[in-house]
Structure 1
């Protein structure tokens, strides 16, 4: 069955099949990445490395992925988004397979870097959804994709702990590899090539300056909690990154075919969404770190739950996200993305404000209820932001716009754990546990107050920031940005 919207024809049967691919994608990635977290102590022990070294298993993936999302997003605009999506998913699949057979720590870092090249799958998937799906389906599908991130996390954390405990950390990858291969062949068979191509030459100088700007900053943020935020190494890395960022901006302003078109990413809605996503990822990361400690610290400092139990206790939040996300996508064309973004940010902010004051005095189920409430708000806001972005840029540059958005998201995700670790290392007490030779540092109530309170302030700021969004849909109409202007699509 085909439908026509303002001269563009869309195949509904294809859209339904493609939805299965793009919705299962975050389940695969979250399964793979979240399962790694419980395995890190085992990896450290097997390769006889220190905690700082083992953190590079996460860092190298993020470093490579941040840059690849921007570059492959641009290549998707130039040569076809399906082609680059398969390239990215191919790298991800090869990396997952190789990880499980790593004979040394250096090999594991190399294969994780290969896997990081695949991080571009998400911006490319968002672009394909925007191009090939009828406009009224886009918010619903984006909502399902967002919901699956939370569901994948809840599934993967307890399952990863169980697999690592019973079969070893390598089986976290061995078990994921068949699903990655299946996803690759599904995408190859089902997805269509994008209808918009924007040919040109790759901006290699821009890519070089992007690496210069991004890598030192992410390394500095990752290492700062261990070496110190004012350590010479940290300050030098930040300085190098700032120089790279300035050179990137100067170059992209004069480049004929810029890697990151500044006029696109700095226009009103994309700029708001990029800034918003970065701060949202920062707030989520801080909140998640605090949640983990509260769930797993022994009473009276927490609830004393295992990783498996902690994952199961997050199931209500995942369930609510799974309901709210597609429902919000369905209602968004009528209500508008802007009101939902503001509402979601205010819900998250109010819940986090309550947690900042009462987190350590709530009962277990009161705490679960509050993080579920916060998760509902974050879901509403995130879905609204991604839809504002994809309907605010021309289709021919959708890949680079969503790639740049991933870059900002990764920056926020990197800063969150680093700041949370620093806060917890600042506000702590030493507790002597029988059988443990050294006292443990346990975060105090003040640490949670700072983490949840800061996150609450961030989401309040995002609610205010969302007031500046130019609405892209309302009253059953979606406003699409075209190459030469704008058009409205009736979906009611």
Structure 2
């Protein structure tokens, strides 16, 4: 059935929406392919440039630091100058960084080009904004579902492929192989996407942007380095204090700014505030679970299944396939059953699965591989349901003219959660470990015990249970085929068939 939905400024172009959908759905595959392929290459990069493990971790950290600030900055610029324009600028930074990374002749060069690539992290909040603004309401949940599914698929493809490319062709080819796809994506986005119809002109809040850097960067550096230098170390405490002072300063400034970088009335209203907090905790839980999964797959028996990176990636394929099925299906049924029930179901599924993993963690390796795969697949389905529902609650709860700000702030919260997860997981694994002698390693190494997995899975289960409670406080945005969306002039209800 051909559908056109009336709106104040005209009608939605269904043919265009379908073309644009291909661009925004393929985008996560590119980014996850690029980022996940880097992980297996880190030991090789460390060896080539002669740096220590703490230093090589900055290859990941610098990207995250720059990206966390850029998502908020580019989101605001998208509202002011056009979301397609700023999407292309961000994608241009990402493409340039990918190209230059492969030609890095020094470790310092690599850090600079990774920082350039970090500016491109803003492509996702801008893509979410374009989806909400230019796609018919009925299509939005389905497209968001496909985007979410592609994140998981990209991760599963990239980990084993990255290990293979690094081993056989060198780590630079992880970037050389991605660069042509990045260029193609830029050309497709330039040709296919249309400029957003909502422009919210004004002067950029430069003081707010600088204070945001002050508030965000020290905290992220502290969290990243704390597992190595200690959570009670002087530098860790100082960085947290500096960040807290910056956060207070940001609140006071944005409260009085004429055109604030992060409008407090937008991010503090009921649904956006709950979704931002929920996404932060969800990212934290996902990161902790992922860290535990990697170690369980790869650590030798009896502390793990003793699989290679390639084998680990292949064994995660069922999880990706389920996500690929669940995500678009959830997007299709969401307007009928509501985003809130699906988010609640997803959080409870994830919490129950993680609780089972925590209880039976001592019995998993090395004899229950397929039971473990089945359970993480079950958890992945729940996380997929919850993530898709939360992003739809957000995009239908704020006016399109500030969609860039709303999705940018949401990505900022997500990055905070993603940073805390590995740091806490690393601390837990450093607390509960045994020293084991591996034949290929000359000195004993620390291997997490099953107690570490109990703590990580149990902690993640608690996080998702709290998320289920948070979801109960959200206001429903869609139900029985009707979508309640916030427009610039107020709220309206659209019936979709």
Q: Which TM-score bucket, shorter chain as reference?
A: over 0.9
**Is 1:474 equivalent to 2:479 in the alignment?**
yes
CA contact (8 A) 2:29 2:150 kept: yes
CA contact (8 A) 1:57 1:108 kept: yes
SS in 2 for 1:417: helix
The equivalent residue for 2:97 is 95
CA contact (8 A) 1:24 1:148 kept: yes
CA contact (8 A) 2:295 2:304 kept: yes
Matched residues in 2 for 1:434 and 1:142: separation? 46
The equivalent residue for 2:390 is 385
**Is 1:440 equivalent to 2:445 in the alignment?**
yes
SS in 1 for 2:12: strand
Number of residue-to-residue matches in the alignment:
492
Deviations 1:330-365 (A, max 9, x none): 100000000000000000000000000113423110
Specify which of 351, 354, 364 is matched with residue 353 of structure 2: 351
The equivalent residue for 2:153 is 151
CA contact (8 A) 1:359 1:367 kept: no
The equivalent residue for 1:171 is 173
Q: Which runs of 5+ in 1 are unaligned?
A: none
The equivalent residue for 1:399 is 404
**Is 1:289 equivalent to 2:291 in the alignment?**
yes
Matched residues in 2 for 1:446 and 1:71: separation? 42
The equivalent residue for 1:483 is 488
The equivalent residue for 1:82 is 84
SS in 2 for 1:147: helix
The equivalent residue for 2:184 is 182
Deviations 1:430-479 (A, max 9, x none): 11233533211111111000000000000000001000010000010000
Deviations 1:272-311 (A, max 9, x none): 0000000000000000000000000111111110000000
Matched residues in 1 for 2:240 and 2:354: separation? 30
The equivalent residue for 1:228 is 230
Matched residues in 2 for 1:49 and 1:42: separation? 11
The equivalent residue for 1:373 is 378
Structure 1 position 323, deviation (Å): 0.4
Matched residues in 2 for 1:341 and 1:433: separation? 43
State how 1:244-323 maps to structure 2 within 5 Å: 244-323=246-325
The equivalent residue for 1:213 is 215
CA contact (8 A) 1:35 1:172 kept: yes
SS in 1 for 2:434: strand
The equivalent residue for 1:340 is 342
**Is 1:3 equivalent to 2:4 in the alignment?**
yes
Deviations 1:217-263 (A, max 9, x none): 00000000000000000000000000000000000000000000000
Matched residues in 2 for 1:134 and 1:380: separation? 21
Q: Stretches of 4+ moved more than 6 A in 1?
A: none
Structure 1 position 6, deviation (Å): 4.1
CA contact (8 A) 2:399 2:487 kept: yes
Deviations 1:73-107 (A, max 9, x none): 00000000000000000000000000000010000
The equivalent residue for 2:245 is 243
SS in 1 for 2:456: helix
Matched residues in 1 for 2:320 and 2:465: separation? 23
Structure 1-normalised TM-score?
Answer: 0.99
SS in 1 for 2:385: helix
Matched residues in 2 for 1:139 and 1:391: separation? 10
Deviations 1:102-127 (A, max 9, x none): 01000000000000000000000000
SS in 1 for 2:5: strand
Specify which of 140, 143, 146 is matched with residue 142 of structure 2: 140
Structure 1 position 420, deviation (Å): 0.2
Q: Which runs of 5+ in 2 are unaligned?
A: none
485 and 232 in structure 1: CA distance in 2 versus 1, 3 angstrom threshold: same
Matched residues in 1 for 2:361 and 2:76: separation? 44
SS in 2 for 1:127: helix
Structure 2-normalised TM-score?
Answer: 0.98
Deviations 1:354-377 (A, max 9, x none): 000113423110000000000000
Matched residues in 2 for 1:465 and 1:20: separation? 33
Structure 1 position 484, deviation (Å): 2.6
The equivalent residue for 1:412 is 417
SS in 2 for 1:258: coil
